[in-house]
Amino acid sequence: MSVTVRVASPLRSYTNGASSVSGVGATVRDVLADLDRRFPGMRFRMIDEQERIRQHIRVYVNTQEAKELGAAVRAGDTVHLICALSGG
pLDDT (tens digit per residue) in 34-80: 999 999 999 999 999 999 999 999 999 999 999 999 999 999 999 99
Rounded Cα distance between 52 and 65, Å, is 14
Statement: residue 5 has pLDDT above 90: yes
- How confident is the model over 13-27, as a mean pLDDT? 97
Supply the pTM of this predicted model: 0.91
Rounded mean pLDDT, 15-38: 97
Q: What is the pLDDT of residue 30?
A: 97
Burial of 16-51, coded b for 16+ CB within 10 Å and e otherwise, reads eeeeebebbbebbbbbbbbbbeebeebbebbbeeee
